[in-house]
Amino acid sequence: MTTSSNTPIELVLITGMSGSGKSDALNALEDVGFYCVDNLPPELLEPFLALEQSHRASKVAIAMDVRSASSLPGLPQRLAQLQNNPDRKIQLTILFLDASTETLVRRFSETRRLHPLSLKTSQDQRRALIDAIEHERELLAELHEVALVMDTSLIRSSQLRSQIKELLGSSHSPLTLIFESFAFKRGIPMNADFMFDVRMLPNPHYEPDLKLLTGRDAPVAHYLSAQSEVVKMREQIAGFVAYWLPHMLRDHRSYVTVAIGCTGGQHRSVYLVEQLAQVFATDWSTRIRHREANEWPQPPATTESSKA
């Protein structure tokens, strides 16, 4: 059964650094009903979408990266033309997966895969790999500027797949607001549009009964909500974000990431992310991401002998 040539298509373009997780992202979207194509040459994008629009899919995910290096410089213009074409009805999301150079070097070393831009004849393979990664960043810089950027340096494959499914697996409003907690001790997130440092707030880590809990636990939430500095910080961040979101929507932004960091990414930042997401959920599509979730300590199991 064919569909109308005017059937809207939800198009997700996955791009980014080699070794950053594009295959995992493509697999995740396939799991939630997208028709997925890897390494489609940019020159074939428009005829491919015309075929899918008239015959098959309403949700399409395409991976394009440096393997089509010769065609990349004109890709942003091609995408803009597609979006402005009244005959196409394309809802486009550009997802750029990134990671630190150190992380990418480690991943390529562990898998022993050759980077697409590496010179096989180089004597110093590590230096050649770093050079290839930096050259790739230059080639992809224009796409990086117009995309939703996800930093995969500190997340596992399973986490990335879950985040992709949550973010793109269902229909979303014109702008999605992502609140992310993180630990400064593990580095700042590269993908944040706004970043707030809350390390000056009272720290539940120093309260023995709260140390092993997180900002999602009621005792920690009760402790922090009773601190006037925390309340003031929450109100000021909410006011700042609320003021600027309509401006970003008018600028055709599809995603805005608000990162909130504390020392360990366990108590204060987590609490504020949860609170702010509740505040904005009534008017905006919101998502929560706790980057250090797998690093939180677990309280010891309670046994019968310990109760005695």
Same domain, 147 and 206: no
Adjacent-strand bridge partners of 182:
261
| Percent of the chain residues topping a pLDDT of 70 | 89
- In this predicted structure, what is the pLDDT of residue 82? 81
Res. 69: pLDDT tops 80: no
The answer to whether 143 and 72 have CB atoms below 8 angstroms apart is yes
17 and 96 part of one domain: yes
Rg (CA), the chain: 22
17 with 149, same domain: the answer is yes
Tokens linked to 22: 């594009």
Coil, helix or strand at residue 240 = helix
Q: Is the pLDDT of residue 5 over 60?
A: no
- Report the pLDDT averaged over residues 124-153: 89
Q: Is 163 found in the same domain as 14?
A: yes
β 9-16/90-98 pair status: parallel
Whole-prediction pTM? 0.67
Query: Average of pLDDT values for 114-138?
Result: 82
Report yes or no on 245 lying in a domain.
Answer: yes
90 lies in the same domain as 143: yes
Domain range holding 140? 9-168
What is the count of structural domains for the chain?
A: 2
Tell me how far apart the alpha carbons of residues 249 and 244 are, in angstroms, rounded to a whole number: 9
- Whole-number Å distance between alpha carbons of 287 and 123: 46
Is residue 229, in this structure, part of any structural domain at all?
Answer: yes
Q: What whole-number distance in Å separates Cα of residue 259 and Cα of residue 128?
A: 34
d(CA 295, CA 33): 32
Report the CATH number at residue 54. 3.40.50.300
Do 28 and 154 lie in a common domain? yes
Average pLDDT rounded to a whole number, residues 6-11? 78
Tens of pLDDT, residues 200-233? 999 999 999 999 999 999 999 999 999 999 999 9
- Over residues 302-306, the mean pLDDT reads 42
Q: Looking at per-residue confidence, does 40 or 7 come out higher? A: 40
pLDDT of 191 reads 83
Q: What is the pLDDT of residues 233-275, one digit of tens each?
A: 999 999 999 999 988 887 767 789 999 999 999 999 999 999 9
Question: 176-183 and 35-38 as β-strands: parallel, antiparallel, unpaired?
Answer: unpaired
Residues 164 and 182 in one domain: no
- Domain membership flag for residue 98: yes
Q: Where are the alpha helices (DSSP H) in the chain?
A: 22-31, 45-55, 75-84, 101-111, 125-146, 157-168, 218-225, 228-250, 268-280, 304-307
Angle at which helices 228-250 and 268-280 pack, to 10 degrees? 50
Q: Is the pLDDT of residue 152 over 50?
A: yes
The string of pLDDT tens digits covering residues 285-297 is 899 999 998 778 7
Predicted confidence at residue 1, as pLDDT, reads 37
- Do 105 and 223 lie in a common domain? no
Which of 117, 138, 168 is the last residue in one of the domains? 168
| Cα–chain center distance at 76 | 20
Q: Percentage of residues in the chain with pLDDT exceeding 90?
A: 51
Q: In this structure, is residue 148 part of a structural domain?
A: yes
Is the domain of 53 the same as that of 193?
no
pLDDT level of residue 303 (50, 70, 90 thresholds): very low
d(CA 240, CA 103): 33
Q: Looking at the structure, tell me whether residues 92 and 233 fall in a common domain.
A: no
Helix, strand, or coil (residue 303): coil
Predicted confidence band of residue 7 (pLDDT cuts 50, 70, 90): low
User: Could you tell me if 21 and 162 lie in one domain?
Assistant: yes
Task: Tell me whether residue 301 is in a domain.
Answer: no
Is residue 264 within 8 Å of residue 183, measured between CB atoms? yes
- Residue 13 exposed, middle or buried by CB count within 10 Å (0-12, 13-18, 19+): buried
For residue 180, the model assigns a pLDDT of: 96
Q: How far apart are the first and last CA of the chain?
A: 69
Average pLDDT over residues 28-36: 89
Q: Which residue has the higher pLDDT, 58 or 120?
A: 58
Label residue 168 by pLDDT band (50, 70, 90): confident
Mean per-residue pLDDT over the chain, rounded: 86
Q: How far is CA 259 from the centre of its chain?
A: 11
Strands of the chain, DSSP E? 9-16, 35-38, 59-63, 90-98, 148-151, 176-183, 194-197, 255-262, 285-290
Q: Both 106 and 24 in a single domain?
A: yes
Across the range 54-60, mean pLDDT stands at: 74
- Give the mean model confidence (pLDDT) for residues 144-156: 90
